[in-house]
Amino acid sequence: MQQPSICVYCGARPGNDPAYMDIATRFGAALAAQDWRLVYGAGDVGLMGAVARAAQDAGGDTFGVIPTHLMQLEVGKRDLTRFVVTENMHERKKVMFMNSDAIVVLPGGAGSLDEFFEVLTWAQLGLHAKPILLLNANGYWDPLIGLIDHVIDQGFADASLRALISVVPSPEAAIATLRDALS
Ligand code: AMP
């Protein structure tokens, strides 16, 4: 495979605990250290900005995709290796997904959840087999994992849904899991 591209979904805000920005910074640097390309939403705010700056600072390849209407709100980061402006959110998600080999979800809000559930449901339907990781920093995603288990317990999804998600506790564990999955 050529240089793997890792799509990162994460918060446009920093969150209340500095640990979240720290995780994002460590993960951006770790991607660059592997010489893997970061694909993300091209914002310079919150965890998004932290991942991208860290990857850039470590000499990594960065590919950002942002819809035109978010250029101001999310501070479009024009100095990425590649910077693409789309017409709308749907195009943004499509370009990010099509240019990625795996997806990693860091702590984030409704936008990150939307992106996570979209790739998860596509995997459930067999539309792709790209690895999907939840970077569970500080147990942030525990309630989400509990919800997915509940959905399965109550008979609204097959148990195989859970197996589509790799839950990892740290950037280092994410890199190790990706390395196995992509080899
Ligand atoms: P958040 O996790 O809410 O901080 O959002 C993280 C990123 O997801 C931001 O770049 C948002 O613009 C983006 N986002 C928010 N809502 C959506 C959506 N419906 N589809 C795609 N991306 C979204």
Q: Which atom of ligand 1 has the smallest separation from the CA of 73?
A: 12
The pTM score is 0.96
**Domain residue extents for the chain:** 5-178
Q: CB of 96 closer than 6 A to ligand 1?
A: no
Residue having the nearest C-alpha atom to atom 11 of ligand 1: 111
In this prediction, residue 1 carries a pLDDT of: 62
- Domain 5-178: CATH architecture, name and number where available: 3-Layer(aba) Sandwich (3.40)
**pLDDT averages per 10-residue partition of the chain, 183 residues:** 92 98 98 98 98 98 97 94 97 98 98 98 97 97 98 98 98 98 94
Distance 90 CA to ligand 1 centre (A): 11
Burial track 92-112 (b if 16+ CB lie within 10 A, e otherwise): bbebbbeebbbbbbbbbeebb
Distance 106 CA to ligand 1 centre (A): 12
Q: Which atom of ligand 1 has the smallest separation from the CA of 70?
A: 12
In this prediction, residue 62 carries a pLDDT of: 98
Block residue for tokens 């994002």: 24
- Cα–Cα distance for residue pair 89/65, rounded to 1 Å: 10
In this prediction, residue 2 carries a pLDDT of: 82
Distance 43 CA to ligand 1 centre (A): 10
